[in-house]
Amino acid sequence: MDFRILLVPIDFSESSSRALDTAVALAKRFDARVHLLHACQLNTSVYPYGMIIGEELEQRLREAAQQKLDEWCERAVAGGVSAEATVSPGTPSESILELAAGLPADLIVMGTRGLSGLKHVMLGSVAERTLRAAPCPVLTVRE
Residue 47 in this model has a pLDDT that exceeds 60 = no
* 68 CB neighbour count, 10 Å cutoff: 15
- At residue 120 the predicted structure's pLDDT band, cuts being 50, 70 and 90, is very low
| Residue 48 or residue 141, greater confidence | 141
Nearest alpha-carbon partner for 68 in 24, 2, 10, 140: 10
- At residue 57 the predicted structure's pLDDT band, cuts being 50, 70 and 90, is confident
Asked if 35 contacts 8 with a C-beta cutoff of 8 angstroms, the reply is yes
Q: What does the pLDDT average to over 121-125? A: 53
What's the whole-model pTM score?
0.87
Q: Which amino acid is at 105?
A: A
Domain extents for the chain?
5-141
Please state which CATH number belongs to domain 5-141.
3.40.50.620
| Residue 41 or residue 101, greater confidence | 101
Q: What does the pLDDT average to over 33-53? A: 77
Asked if 110 contacts 95 with a C-beta cutoff of 8 angstroms, the reply is no
How far CA 68 is from CA of 1, 2, 17, 28, 61, in Å, comes to 32, 30, 13, 23, 11
Angle, CA 73 vertex, CA 69 and CA 32 arms, to 5°: 135
Give the pLDDT score at 118: 47
Examine residue 104 and say whether the peptide bond preceding it is cis (omega within 30 degrees of 0).
yes
The SS3 call for residue 28 is: helix
Give the pLDDT score at 55: 79
- At residue 133 the predicted structure's pLDDT band, cuts being 50, 70 and 90, is very high
Q: What does the pLDDT average to over 72-88? A: 97
Give the pLDDT score at 114: 61
- At residue 12 the predicted structure's pLDDT band, cuts being 50, 70 and 90, is very high
- Please, which residues bridge with residue 25 across strands? none
